[in-house]
Chain A
């Protein structure tokens, strides 16, 4: 569980940074990643 939380935090930081540098016109990509973000820690173990 600790690993999952660390992974989620790391991914959150990556997506946060991405959202910060993304122009508003390109919002769909970070939005998609944000939606996918909670699933990524699970995908990591497949």
Chain B
């Protein structure tokens, strides 16, 4: 008899969701988390009285949470309280005197856009009319459907024929879709940056991601107490159902016999046997490090080896001694699609950080979490996080050496475009470089979004939620279908648990 029916490697939102559903199905389930904190990059840490979100800063598409808790027979509100965040984004470039915020309401957003581009205001309403039905169809079906192979796709089309309408979005680019609707440069910039959620610039990102800019108008939310509230809520649900989470348990090997997963081995040599293993960490790490070439057919090894990692997102954590002159939870500078495309080819792929006239420009998303929850910082103080995009390997430099300079350059960039006197108010600063993210969260290449999300890495071309080469091995998390992002990995966890419980029924 194995020690557990299911052992889950990794206590992120995807692994926890799958674990809770397996436990609900009556399977004795254990989650092994290598750190002392739940959630992976959807988590929160404390430093000098400030509480910073590690990576993820809000959630959208909360339908996957509702679906998870519906399946668990528990109340989502009780386990994961969420506060709406409105406006969604504030776009800011004080060098040009441009500033506008998008509220959640679509009509109101159209009014905001119309103030400086009436044509694009109308286009936004048309964009919403055209894509909202597709969003409903995709979120309600594609997100929860296993995409193991062509047969699953055929089943999905039969179940939801409307998905055929969304099909062309996979074969065009994000840039092409937004350019079809919007003409104003600032509006285009506000609609195009979401491609980086897929780890690609707008002209290389599948058109599907163009809906993200609209999806956010369904509502974005923040859990009081920080993003850790989400995995902690799922952990509580798992434990209330009788499941178990153990911390400080780093798995180094998946025990495989005759191409069947039999359990895991921890860093201290302890072996835990299990009827099923869920690798809820990066799939490359699962196959290439924890299983190894000797257990995999050559074509599977070649497949996993060929998969590209998404872009790393260096995180800067700032504690400040005043209320920043921001207007929203999220503030962004406006970067044109062309600049984003050039950044990819001229800088990112060459291991360089972006510069303008030789001056570093560390663009990124600034999150002001203590606007929603002042309790995240000591009284009168606030927390800011800055999520950028940067190469894993710096040409001619090393992240450990460059770290402090990167923070200085990012603060200078934020001062230039958003908060003029920021550096005078920073009382705490730290950073997680791509190398740190790799070390802390075990994300190869610091890729918090897992495997890159382009057409060649999507659905059945993404690591399968149920392994096709190792029996009793399942995968969850950002590197599996449907992809990265908190709510997306929860949906992936639901798929994984569905496949696993069906196989063990």
Using a CB–CB distance below 8 Å, which chain A residues touch chain B?
4, 14, 17-18, 21, 23, 26, 28-29, 32-33, 36-37, 39-40, 42-46
Instruction: Using known A-B contacts A26-B203, A28-B203, A29-B203, determine if residue A43 contacts B456 with beta carbons closer than 8 Å.
Output: yes
Which of B454, B456, B468 is the one whose CB lies under 8 Å from A45? B468
A-B contact count (CB 8 A): 66
> CA of A28 to CA of B176 in the docked complex: distance in angstroms?
12
The answer to whether B292 has its CB under 8 Å from any CB of chain A is no
The answer to whether B469 has its CB under 8 Å from any CB of chain A is yes
> CA of A16 to CA of B456 in the docked complex: distance in angstroms?
14
Instruction: Using known A-B contacts A43-B303, A46-B463, A46-B464, determine if residue A18 contacts B171 with beta carbons closer than 8 Å.
Output: yes
**Across the interface, which residues of A come within 8 angstroms of B455, CB to CB?**
33
SS of A interface (majority): helix
**Across the interface, which residues of B come within 8 angstroms of A14, CB to CB?**
171
Chain B stretch 449-470: residues in CB contact (< 8 A) with chain A: 454-457, 460-464, 468-469
25 A-B contacts (beta carbon < 8 Å): A4-B299, A14-B171, A23-B176, A26-B175, A28-B203, A28-B204, A28-B341, A32-B204, A33-B456, A36-B454, A39-B456, A40-B456, A42-B302, A42-B303, A43-B304, A43-B456, A43-B462, A44-B149, A44-B303, A45-B297, A45-B303, A45-B468, A46-B300, A46-B303, A46-B304
Which of A18, A23, A37, A43 is the one whose CB lies under 8 Å from B307? A43
Q: Which 8 A-B pairs have the closest CB atoms?
A: A42-B303, A36-B456, A39-B306, A46-B303, A43-B461, A43-B303, A42-B302, A29-B173
Contacts beyond the supplied A17-B171, A32-B456: 18 A-B pairs with Cβ under 8 Å: A26-B176, A28-B204, A29-B172, A29-B173, A32-B454, A37-B456, A39-B303, A40-B461, A42-B299, A42-B300, A42-B306, A43-B307, A43-B457, A45-B299, A45-B300, A45-B303, A46-B287, A46-B469
Closest to B296 in A: A46
Q: State the Cβ distance, B20 to closest chain A Cβ, in Å.
A: 26
> CA of A37 to CA of B457 in the docked complex: distance in angstroms?
10
> CA of A4 to CA of B468 in the docked complex: distance in angstroms?
15
| Residue of A4, A23, A43 with most partner-chain B CB within 10 A | A43
Q: State the Cβ distance, B146 to closest chain A Cβ, in Å.
A: 14
**Across the interface, which residues of B come within 8 angstroms of A45, CB to CB?**
297, 299-300, 303, 468-469
**Across the interface, which residues of B come within 8 angstroms of A36, CB to CB?**
454, 456-457
The answer to whether B283 has its CB under 8 Å from any CB of chain A is yes
SS of B interface (majority): helix
Chain B interface residue count, Cβ-Cβ cutoff 8 angstroms? 30
Closest to A7 in B: B150
Q: State the Cβ distance, A23 to closest chain B Cβ, in Å.
A: 8
> CA of A35 to CA of B87 in the docked complex: distance in angstroms?
40
Closest to B148 in A: A44
| Residue of A4, A18, A42 with most partner-chain B CB within 10 A | A42
> CA of A43 to CA of B456 in the docked complex: distance in angstroms?
8
> CA of A26 to CA of B202 in the docked complex: distance in angstroms?
10
Give per-residue flags for B428-465: 1 if the beta carbon is below 8 A from chain A beta carbons, else 0: 00000000000000000000000000111100111110
**Across the interface, which residues of A come within 8 angstroms of B304, CB to CB?**
43, 46
**Across the interface, which residues of A come within 8 angstroms of B173, CB to CB?**
26, 29
Q: State the Cβ distance, A17 to closest chain B Cβ, in Å.
A: 8
**Across the interface, which residues of A come within 8 angstroms of B457, CB to CB?**
36, 43
**Across the interface, which residues of B come within 8 angstroms of A26, CB to CB?**
173, 175-176, 203
Asked if B283 contacts A46 (CB within 8 A), the reply is yes
Closest to B287 in A: A46
> CA of A19 to CA of B300 in the docked complex: distance in angstroms?
28
**Across the interface, which residues of A come within 8 angstroms of B172, CB to CB?**
29
> CA of A4 to CA of B341 in the docked complex: distance in angstroms?
33
Closest to A37 in B: B456
Closest to A32 in B: B204
> CA of A33 to CA of B468 in the docked complex: distance in angstroms?
24
Asked if B468 contacts A46 (CB within 8 A), the reply is yes
> CA of A37 to CA of B302 in the docked complex: distance in angstroms?
14
Q: State the Cβ distance, B285 to closest chain A Cβ, in Å.
A: 13
**Across the interface, which residues of B come within 8 angstroms of A21, CB to CB?**
171
> CA of A21 to CA of B378 in the docked complex: distance in angstroms?
56
Chain B stretch 291-319: residues in CB contact (< 8 A) with chain A: 297, 299-300, 302-304, 306-307
Q: State the Cβ distance, B119 to closest chain A Cβ, in Å.
A: 21
Closest to B168 in A: A21
Chain B stretch 485-504: residues in CB contact (< 8 A) with chain A: none
Q: State the Cβ distance, A21 to closest chain B Cβ, in Å.
A: 8
**Across the interface, which residues of A come within 8 angstroms of B454, CB to CB?**
32-33, 36
